[in-house]
Homo-oligomer: A and B are copies of this chain.
Amino acid sequence: MGLWYDETYADKVRLSLKVSRTLHREQSDLQRIEIVDTEAMGRTLILDDVFMTSERDEHYYHEMLVHPALTTTPRIARVLIIGGGDGGTAREVLRHPEVERVDMVEIDGRVVEACKAHLPNFGAWDDPRLRVEIGDGVAYARDADVDPYDVVLLDGTDPVGPGEGLFDEAFYRGVRRLLTPHGTFALQSESPFLMRDVFLDIQATLGRIFGRVHPYFGPAPIYNAGPWSWTFASHEVDPMAIDSARARRAELTAKYYNADIHRASFAVPNDLR
């Protein structure tokens, strides 16, 4: 018994986590933000009733979004994160000393404030290389007048609510505009098991814009969707060309990622070939 938080997907499957304490709850201009303590997953961020990330499982998602791109892109001085308000993606990016500047464009400043207060192990907020801008990532990709980035990471939500425009071809074209010719775009691309159509649509759309598009796979327990996917898109970067010094450095702190896992994650399941 006790208090349980339920996330129901498409009225057919539901994940529930037992909650020991509610740490934060507010309605921002964009969404409902909750941070709770759960017995199974530790502190857990919930946006509009959807489990986003937790202390116990966030390493899978953040390490796999960040390190494949950061260990293979030739130059990684300038990195853009779109979304990523919990801070975990920035933390992993900033583990690489070659990174000189990280711009994070997060649409909801209240998420950043709540996570700074209640998920202190997620972020690297005090790193002087990090600059946080509260704004719309879609507009930023379309309009921002900035030097190009070596790596762009999309750390967004599902294609509903504030994250909706982050799955459009127009947005991906904006990302391409912001990248150097030798740059890499990495993004979460949903579950190929539970959301196969969305996964395939992301691959097809990116294929019209980038010369090389490679999905890769790994666990993301809190998404309750079987295998999770990310996608590595670029004009010319080979996701297997791992800089071994950078990979070894990532391995110093990583719980999931290492160079073997990196290579393995790009193996494509037989029904997705």
Residue contact A16 to B16, C-beta cutoff 8 Å: yes
What are 5 A-B pairs with beta-carbon distances under 8 A?
Answer: A12-B39, A40-B194, A57-B193, A258-B270, A263-B264
Residue contact A261 to B251, C-beta cutoff 8 Å: no
Q: How far is B268's CA from A14's CA once the two chains are assembled, in angstroms?
A: 30
Residue contact B18 to A11, C-beta cutoff 8 Å: yes
Which A residues contact B (CB, under 8 angstroms)? Answer: 2, 4, 6, 9-18, 38-41, 57, 60, 193-194, 219-221, 224-227, 251, 254-258, 260-261, 263-271, 273
Chain A interface mostly helix, strand, loop or mixed? loop
Cβ-closest chain B residue relative to A258: B270
Q: How far is B193's CA from A273's CA once the two chains are assembled, in angstroms?
A: 28
Kindly provide the distance from the CB of A179 to the nearest chain B CB, expressed in whole angstroms: 28
Residue contact A261 to B270, C-beta cutoff 8 Å: yes
Residues of chain B contacted by A18 (CB below 8 angstroms): 11-14
Residues of chain B contacted by A11 (CB below 8 angstroms): 2, 18, 39
The 3 tightest CB contacts between A and B, nearest first, are A221-B226, A264-B264, A264-B267
Residues of chain B contacted by A194 (CB below 8 angstroms): 40, 221
Which one of B4, B220, B251 contacts A14 once the chains associate, using CB atoms below 8 Å? Answer: B4
Residues of chain B contacted by A40 (CB below 8 angstroms): 9-10, 12-13, 194
Kindly provide the distance from the CB of A84 to the nearest chain B CB, expressed in whole angstroms: 22
Cβ-closest chain B residue relative to A8: B16
Kindly provide the distance from the CB of A145 to the nearest chain B CB, expressed in whole angstroms: 40
Scoring A13, A257, A265 by chain B CB atoms within 10 A of each residue's CB, the highest score goes to A13
Q: How far is B227's CA from A269's CA once the two chains are assembled, in angstroms?
A: 15
Contacts A256-B270, A260-B268, A263-B264 supplied; 12 other A-B pairs, CB < 8 Å = A4-B14, A9-B40, A12-B39, A12-B40, A13-B17, A60-B226, A193-B219, A194-B221, A221-B225, A256-B271, A261-B267, A261-B268
Kindly provide the distance from the CB of A49 to the nearest chain B CB, expressed in whole angstroms: 15
Residues of chain B contacted by A273 (CB below 8 angstroms): 258
Q: How far is B255's CA from A9's CA once the two chains are assembled, in angstroms?
A: 24
Kindly provide the distance from the CB of A51 to the nearest chain B CB, expressed in whole angstroms: 11
Q: How far is B6's CA from A18's CA once the two chains are assembled, in angstroms?
A: 14
Q: How far is B60's CA from A270's CA once the two chains are assembled, in angstroms?
A: 11
Contact (A251, B226) CB under 8 Å given A14-B15, A18-B13: no
Which one of B225, B256, B270 contacts A254 once the chains associate, using CB atoms below 8 Å? Answer: B270
